[in-house]
Structure 1
Amino acid sequence: MSATPQISVVVPVFNERDNIAPLVHEITAALRDVAEFEIVYVDDHSRDDTLAVLTALKSQVPELRVIQHLRQSGQSTAIRTGVKAARAPWIATLDGDGQNDPADIPKLIAQRANGDDSIKLFAGWRVNRRDSGSKRWASKWANAIRARMLRDDTPDTGCGIKLFERAAFLDLPYFDHMHRYLPALMQRAGWKTVSVPVNHRPRSTGVSKYNNLNRALVGINDLRGVSWLIRRNKITGTREV
């Protein structure tokens, strides 16, 4: 494994034992000739043998690092744990269920190479979602409300595949479920964000950890909180003299 990876791929997982090996091998295949990389899996205290599968896989994949939460803490905390542990200046994130396509990571990297330095987040945009009709409808409704309240000009904030600067992320206010509002939070900090069309795949094994009701109930309070943060924000330009 390189001492100085250019990209750290952070993958939060909870009870995803059957999706781990295929996804890890897809990540390595996508990035092997693109950039020096590491893969940081964060096991959010799974109840199945996710941790054992990850530990065994380390002998086959030298780029793989594994961190375990000692108690279940949620996806946002798992992402932040991985970002804090990451050694690269730029972070790519993927959901651990295999619905995000690692082959899209080089596309995001290419967008960064061609973008200006003020863009700190390249967010995946699932233009052809492979979820149930009820889930797509709920997401469309939630995105419309979020866009109206936050004006973040982002068509899909729920997509797990993203590329962002590590330092910019760690400077954002941290709270549970913050990963759903990264474009708005980055823009609040004075940075630009770009949405990039990406592939989306049906879940092949395991079950979703969310349902439409709990997403909606949590989302209402989160939207109010993020909206308050935006209203109370002050961005001050600085220069060293």
Structure 2
Amino acid sequence: MSPTPENSAPDVSVVVPVFDEEGAAPGLAREIAAAFAGRNFEIVFVDDRSRDGTRAALEALKPEIPQLRVLSHTANAGQSRAIRTGVMAARAPVVVTLDGDGQNDPADGPALVDMLVAGGPALALVGGERVKRQDSQAKKLASRIGNGVRKRLLKDTANDTGCGLKAFRREAFLRLPYFDHIHRYLPALMLREGYEVAFRPVNHRHRQTGQSKYTNLGRLWASLSDLLGVMWLQSRARNPGGVVE
């Protein structure tokens, strides 16, 4: 597996936010490298001020995975900020994101990238939709309700915005207004900017180590204010349709 040359930008940047994932992160990094072998890629892990040995475990992998970069926040700022940090640091025009807990399958990433590229410049995002979710019944029920309400109110055509596995164009992402939890509203915000979005079924796996950083109740309260905010953004959008010179 050859590293990306220093003077050559990669074609794909895989961005992974992590917080207290010492057990999952090293294996996940190896899986990503194997999934994208043969492509010109980089892997950008963003450690959101973990309290365990996540950063050290990843740093130790650099000799084994030369495409690996490890960025670290000096203060915990949340998943959305970690994703944004990684996207801003990414050197490729196409970005793949996935959760750091190992439940997203990196093997699905290349197919999302291929679908995005084949869709042309108007297609800005391909989101994964988890099939046979390996979560508790309570979590799946809460997600089903939340996705249904969000889809009805925002008309974003997405069945599963909670899936961390997505491929998108870096330039399009950086055009979006940033706020905490933005990663759950990328389809709606991409559509607001006049882009197209698409979705593809992806695998979902059991969490093998660590524990979830979210609770159903905590996510509910955040979702209510986020939904109102995104609805307001949609109401204030005006699309020029195109720009000519």
Shorter-chain TM-score range = over 0.9
Identity %: 53
Asked if the contact 2:12–2:40 (Cα under 8 Å) also holds between the matched residues in 1, the reply is: yes
Q: How far, CA to CA, are the matches of 2:121 and 2:174 in structure 1? A: 17
The residue aligned with 1:8 is 13
Alpha-carbon distance, 1:116 to partner: 2.9
Residue ranges of structure 2 left out of the alignment (5+ in a row): none
Q: How far, CA to CA, are the matches of 2:178 and 2:24 in structure 1? A: 28
Q: How far, CA to CA, are the matches of 2:57 and 2:131 in structure 1? A: 32
The residue aligned with 1:24 is 29
Taking structure 2 as the reference length, what is the TM-score of the superposition? Answer: 0.96
Verify: 1:212 aligned to 2:216, yes or no.
yes
Alpha-carbon distance, 1:240 to partner: 3.3
Verify: 1:86 aligned to 2:90, yes or no.
yes
Which stretches of structure 1, 4 residues or more, deviate above 6 A after TM superposition?
none
The residue aligned with 2:102 is 98
Alpha-carbon distance, 1:115 to partner: 1.5
Q: How far, CA to CA, are the matches of 2:241 and 2:137 in structure 1? A: 45
Alpha-carbon distance, 1:60 to partner: 1.4
Alpha-carbon distance, 1:237 to partner: 2.7
Secondary structure at the residue paired with 1:8? Answer: strand
The residue aligned with 2:127 is 123
RMSD: 0.9
The amino acid that maps onto 1:46 is S
Secondary structure at the residue paired with 1:210? Answer: coil
Give CA-to-partner distance per residue, 1:139-196, whole Å, 9 cap, x none.
0000011011101011000000000000000010000000010000000000010011
Alpha-carbon distance, 1:117 to partner: 2.1
Taking structure 1 as the reference length, what is the TM-score of the superposition? Answer: 0.98
**Candidates 160, 170, 173, aligned match of 1:169:** 173
The residue aligned with 2:162 is 158
The amino acid that maps onto 1:88 is A
Q: How far, CA to CA, are the matches of 1:119 and 1:90 in structure 2? A: 12
Give CA-to-partner distance per residue, 1:65-115, whole Å, 9 cap, x none.
010000000000000000000000000001000000000011112212332
Aligned residues: 240
Alpha-carbon distance, 1:238 to partner: 3.4
Structure-to-structure mapping, 1:189-228, within 5 angstroms: 189-228=193-232
The amino acid that maps onto 1:225 is G
